[in-house]
Amino acid sequence: MPESVTITDNRTGESVEVPLVNGGIDAKAWKRLLPGIWMLDPGFSITASAESAITELDGGNGILRYRGYPIEELAEHSTFLEVCYLLLNGELPGETQFDSWVHDITHHTFIHENMRRRFYEGFHYDAHPMGMMVSAIAGLSTFYPEAKNIDDRDNRFIQINRLISKVPTLAAMAYRTSVGMPFVYPDNTLSYTENFLSMMWRIAEPNYEADPVLAKALDVLLILHADHEQNCSTTAMRVVGSAHADPFSAAAGATAALYGPRHGGANEAVIHMLNEIGSYDNIPAFIESVKAGEGRLMGFGHRVYKAYDPRARIVKNHADEVFKVTGRNPLLDIALKLEEIALSDDYFKSRNLYPNVDFYTGLIYQAMNFPMDMFTVLFTMGRMPGWLSHWNEAIEQESRISRPRQVYVGPAERSYVPIGQR
């Protein structure tokens, strides 16, 4: 059987045979056969926008691999910075390569004093940290004008290094601004997550001692969020990057997309939902309200996974480790009961709705004392290497500017009518 499909235009009887390659077919084949006819797919539910070698998802079987390595193995054996290297370079680093990479990331955590002093002070006291992150990441581009030189690979990787190094600093500053606390400078003697926790929580002590269990749990959570193929925010990164904008501006666009409650904002929305449910007794009524279309079960459902999100399983397993240190999050019991009921209810089963990565992460973040409006900021930190890997891959593929067509459904041509005659 040929690995191909044949498309026939019944108006003319003409056909074209199109090979099936890597699970895709080249849409340009339609162009030859059907000029001026567009494949309409709002939300890209069955459209591939790119060829990519970075992350592989098998939604039916709940499989996630970064550069071929199963997420379960990376979560158990790797570190976030090693995963960043893997996503960006395609291979796990050797010892020398890794040491050099960690040194570079560790020694680029500072940001320009103008950002630190003036930029953040311009925000209102109750500014949402994600609004600050979108602005701050875009603002960084003004300090590195050479970042526009995207054709030079070495220069690209200098900017990539800056973004991965500086995002924790920007994130902690967003938090410290929101609580009116003085900023804490990066401590380059600490690991990536320990340094972030120090910038978040240090008060007056000379050095901050992060709990190793919490630092490790956060490292694993960052690994789990590092990439996820062509999700909404990564698509935004590739689209903005396709215009040859600098990586800071493209990352700001991706951060803005992640902010949405349908995407990265869901981890915050889950906690709001659990708080609203409030107790076991209210769960059945809440489930019925969702089934009646009065809202969504946040943290459930996924465009790709039609099985349990493998990340949600890993997060759930790590929750117990964290709670041994922080104390059990009382909302966990409601979340577990909600999952148990939803997974046995036909409404959710028939729609393949399972917990996604956001269903349990918020419970861990909350137990670690992160305020809810910081949850998506943590997602931003985790996803940055994924965004940058896709941005770099698209440039190396010499991708064309993203410019989809449309199916026009508006009015036919008509003439202007002066206002007095309308």
Report which residue's Cβ sits closest to ligand SDX.
301
Task: Give the Cβ contact number of residue 72 at 10 Å.
Answer: 16
DSSP conformational letter for 116? I
- Closest to ligand SDX by CB, 2 vs 43, is 43
Q: How far is the CB of 232 from ligand SDX (least distance, A)?
A: 6
Which H or E run includes 14? strand 14-19
Q: Which amino acid is at 85?
A: Y
CA atoms in the 13 A half-sphere facing the CB of 331: 18
Label residues 3-29 b or e (16+ Cβ within 10 Å = b). eeeeeeeeeeeeebebeeeeeebeeeb
Q: How far is the CB of 422 from ligand SDX (least distance, A)?
A: 39
Contact between 263 and ligand SDX by CB under 6 A: the answer reads yes
Span interacting with ligand SDX, options 14-22, 179-187, 292-300, 320-328, rule CB under 6 A: 292-300
Q: Could you tell me which of 264, 229, 315 has the C-alpha nearest to residue 57?
A: 229
As annotated, the active-site residues are: 263, 302, 358
155, 97 contact by CB (below 8 A) = no
Contact between 362 and ligand SDX by CB under 6 A: the answer reads no
Q: How far is the CB of 263 from ligand SDX (least distance, A)?
A: 4
Q: How far is the CB of 355 from ligand SDX (least distance, A)?
A: 9
Contact between 339 and ligand SDX by CB under 6 A: the answer reads no
Contact between 235 and ligand SDX by CB under 6 A: the answer reads no
- Closest to ligand SDX by CB, 181 vs 343, is 343
> How far is 37 from 300, CA to CA, in rounded Å?
36
Q: How far is the CB of 262 from ligand SDX (least distance, A)?
A: 4
In 3-state terms, the chain is what percent helix, strand and coil (to 5)? 55, 5, 40
Distance of CA 298 to the CA centre of its chain: 16
Contact between 351 and ligand SDX by CB under 6 A: the answer reads yes
Span interacting with ligand SDX, options 61-69, 173-181, 240-248, 352-360, rule CB under 6 A: 352-360
Span interacting with ligand SDX, options 132-140, 145-153, 211-219, 299-307, rule CB under 6 A: 299-307
Contact between 52 and ligand SDX by CB under 6 A: the answer reads no
354: left (phi over 0), alpha (psi -120 to 50) or beta: beta
Instruction: Pick one of 166, 228, 318, 390: the residue that binds ligand SDX (CB under 6 A).
Output: 228
> How far is 311 from 118, CA to CA, in rounded Å?
39
Span interacting with ligand SDX, options 5-13, 105-113, 249-257, 294-302, rule CB under 6 A: 294-302
Strands of the sheet containing 55-58, edge to edge, are 55-58, 63-66, 69-70
Q: How far is the CB of 77 from ligand SDX (least distance, A)?
A: 21
Q: Residues interacting with ligand SDX, by CB under 6 A?
A: 43, 228, 231-232, 262-263, 266, 290, 296-304, 351, 353, 356-358
